[in-house]
A and B are shown apart, each in its own frame.
Chain A
Amino acid sequence: MKTARQQQISLKRSRNPFNHGSPVKGEEFFGRQEIIDNILLFLRKENEYNFTVFGQRRIGKTSLLRKIQDVANKVNHTYPVYFNLQDKARAQLPQLLFEIATQITVALELKLEVQENDFIDSHASFNFKERFIPSVFKELRSEKGQLLLLFDEFDVLGEIEAIEGDSIVGAFAYKTFIPFIVSLLEEIQIKKYPLKSIFAVGRNYKDLDRQRFGEITKFGPQEEIANFTLEETKKLLQKSSDGIIPFEEEAINEIYMLTSGHPYFTQCLAASSFDAAEKNKQKSISREIVREEFIPTVKRFASGVIWVWDSLSANDQVILYLMALLKEEKRPITVDTIREKALSLNAAHDFENLRQILEKMVHFKIIRNDKRGEYDFYVEFIRKWIVREISEAEIKNLISSPPCP
């Protein structure tokens, strides 16, 4: 029997239609038709072996891979298998290959038995390429099957570099897994195995060692996952909430202004606005509700933003902090005002490359610029988070801690 308190706090399903943390699945997935079409085209092409999707943190790469998994399942004789490498940065290559082999056999319900003994030390790579993969195709070939491997968080394998010098790092997967993948791709090309791969890579993709990742991208196309347009944001919000508590046109515009269509921040702000409207028994979600909920939302989802912040270099962080303060003071953001602000905070820094750093951040769509030479944040949500969560002491600490990468 339920207690009085349990009755007050029911486990009834929430009506809030927004998802702000987990991969979006099935019918909930929205947009990205062009990139999906390009991937379907890639699946049909004979001479392309891998496809790389890249984009900022929390832009929806995992959700896209899950969608591709669903779509590819419906393409005749394509068998997709998803791997998340986020927790594999420290895995040894034999262990990783054993896990991948196991996952392939389980996901495809193959009769093939995978033995851990086959994936020991130096034999692992050979056995995976020369024994395991041919055995998979032997089983699939009766149906003329094509295997599609989806590798999520692929750049994790490059991030371990930060602690180079650690004696055990040398054995970690990134040093051996990427060269292994390259050799596998070459093998596939020569032997014409029907095996394709899709790699999802974080926004700092272009900062990564080109030599290492360039080896992979030469085998196939790459495409960026961008923010939603205003039109897409409108459709997403309407599709999700119409019939429950709809968004007014002005509220949608406000959300777009504050998030620039970044999927994660859009979902966060939409979810909070929906909760507020529901709590206050509103029939629709107005611009005022969105405005009122903006700061509470920044607080509520702070733990999600820190990982975006942490994917930036120290130089980027210092400059973004100065820019955030300038905008808070309603001052224009230019190369000169950034330098001025740095001096006023005694945060004199090596800004010789300021223009280049700003251009790089424009390129990665963290900030934007206009013809007058003024800069602004691409996503206001991130700027407000910086103002609220980052202290001057933290920035000074960044400046004083050499080296500043």
Chain B
Amino acid sequence: MNSESLREKMKISANPFIYNSPVRGADFYNRDVIINRLWKETVTGKTLGNVWITGERQVGKTSLLRYIQSTYEDNTEKVRLYGGKDDYFSVAFVYLNVQDNKSRDEFFSNLQQSLKSFFDFKLESREEDAKKNFLNSLDYLHFKKKYYIVFLLDEFDAFIETLAAGDRESASSLLAELNTLTEGSASASKDGVKRFSCIFAANHTPHDLLKEDIIRRIGSGLITQSIKLDWFSRAQVAELAQHYLKDSPVQLTDEEIEFCFKMTQGYPYFVQVLFSIIYEHKAGGAVSKDQFKKIKQEYGEIFAETVKGWGGAYMPKPTLEKLKGLFGKIGKTLGDKALTLLFKGIEQYLKKKMGG
């Protein structure tokens, strides 16, 4: 295929790589093992527990939660819950981003609202207490409609930090409340029955929050299982390229895929960024040496801008360390000025977060 005709075809087929917005539907890739584990922990296993997912910014947490909700929203398969009677329940995965929630009441009110929106039902909010209204809705769905709910709570640590900024005890108390609720021991009328589990997505682990004195333990704390959303392996990066370019006139060479893995170490967001840049530069088959230089430059600039834009406010130490490692691989391509600026920025974050 000559370069002119390839350019024509590329105009018709849009660049398939996605960054800056959650990956949806068939574009969501490489996370089946984790989804299976999430099912087991929250619905099909004996624990019917909570899961706390952590991962760096843009590693795919929101995409994962959104994917779970959309894939299963028309699910008709029913399950028998462990520890329950012989009833069968439908399972609903309800997504809610709680980043901008300001208070406990707002949180419970939004949980209730998310149920109402998801199921499109009307139930009068009779109580002044937002939590009681939420529990009434939950009882209605569980006992009348036979639903087991799994809340997908995105940016949960950001909410906890906001809550703790006003009053650390409120944040700690909320975790204690969620623990008793998800154990099924909080509602007087339906004592001992688990009606929901939570999958929390966060940049920080509960351990980070304790270390940074954002929360303290109350009683048993909030019991969850930990899942770290890892960066993609070399093989997964290759599979992702094949998956996205399945019906495309453009195909990536082994050298280009290897280059991508080397420069991103499998960080999902940057994999998408770099693949996207490579895609745009491909015209006459394989990328040339000169083009690789340009791609490096372009990618380095995006990397620098992205990391600077993230700031340090919600960034835990391991993320900073990993970004520094990644920066080491691409820093040289940025030129002196950009490199110095980026490096200074990262050092400032480190100083702020780790005390120098």
User: When the two chains form their complex, are residues A304 and B188 in contact, meaning their CB atoms are under 8 A apart?
Assistant: no
A23 at the interface (CB under 8 A from B): yes
| B77, B82, B218, B220: residue with the most chain A Cβ atoms closer than 10 Å | B220
Which residues of B206-263 are within 8 A (CB) of A?
Answer: 206-207, 210-211, 216-228
* Other-chain contact of B40, A16, A103, A152 (Cβ < 8 Å): A16
Which residues of A302-329 are within 8 A (CB) of B?
Answer: 302-304, 306-307, 310-311
User: When the two chains form their complex, are residues B47 and A302 in contact, meaning their CB atoms are under 8 A apart?
Assistant: no
The residue in chain B whose Cβ has the minimal distance to the Cβ of A102 is B188
Task: Categorize the interface residue count of chain B.
Answer: 35 or more
Render B111-146 as a binary contact track against A, CB cut-off 8 A, 1 for contact: 000000000000000000000000000000000000
CA of A68 to CA of B189 in the docked complex: distance in angstroms? 20
Tally chain A residues at the interface, Cβ within 8 Å: 62
Inter-chain contacts of B218 with A (CB < 8 A)? 86-87, 89, 156, 159
Q: What total of A-B pairs shows CB separation below 8 Å?
A: 167
B303 to nearest A CB, angstroms? 27
* Other-chain contact of A2, B50, B77, B183 (Cβ < 8 Å): B77
Render A190-226 as a binary contact track against B, CB cut-off 8 A, 1 for contact: 0000000000001000000000000000000000000
B311 at the interface (CB under 8 A from A): no
User: When the two chains form their complex, are residues B72 and A21 in contact, meaning their CB atoms are under 8 A apart?
Assistant: no
User: When the two chains form their complex, are residues A300 and B180 in contact, meaning their CB atoms are under 8 A apart?
Assistant: no
Which residues of A37-63 are within 8 A (CB) of B?
Answer: 57-58, 62
A167 at the interface (CB under 8 A from B): no
B170 to nearest A CB, angstroms? 8
Inter-chain contacts of B225 with A (CB < 8 A)? 20-21, 300-301, 303-304
User: When the two chains form their complex, are residues B192 and A82 in contact, meaning their CB atoms are under 8 A apart?
Assistant: yes
* Other-chain contact of A304, B45, B183, B223 (Cβ < 8 Å): B223
User: When the two chains form their complex, are residues A310 and B221 in contact, meaning their CB atoms are under 8 A apart?
Assistant: yes
Inter-chain contacts of A163 with B (CB < 8 A)? 169
The residue in chain B whose Cβ has the minimal distance to the Cβ of A299 is B226
The residue in chain A whose Cβ has the minimal distance to the Cβ of B224 is A303
Inter-chain contacts of A23 with B (CB < 8 A)? 183, 185
When A11-B79, A23-B183, A86-B176 are in contact, do A6 and B219 touch as well, CB less than 8 Å?
Answer: no
List 21 A-B pairs, Cβ < 8 Å. Answer: A6-B72, A9-B32, A11-B39, A11-B44, A11-B91, A14-B45, A21-B50, A22-B47, A22-B48, A22-B83, A22-B194, A58-B220, A82-B185, A82-B192, A86-B179, A87-B177, A152-B185, A302-B207, A303-B226, A304-B224, A307-B223
Which 10 pairs from chain A and chain B are nearest by CB?
Answer: A307-B221, A21-B49, A86-B219, A87-B177, A153-B219, A84-B185, A19-B46, A310-B217, A103-B188, A14-B45
Q: B residues bordering A, Cβ < 8 Å?
A: 32, 35-36, 39-40, 43-50, 52, 71-72, 75-77, 79-80, 82-83, 91, 169, 173, 176-177, 179-180, 183-186, 188-189, 191-192, 194, 205-207, 210-211, 216-228, 354
Known: A6-B71, A66-B192. 6 other contacts (CB 8 A): A21-B47, A89-B219, A106-B189, A159-B217, A301-B226, A306-B210
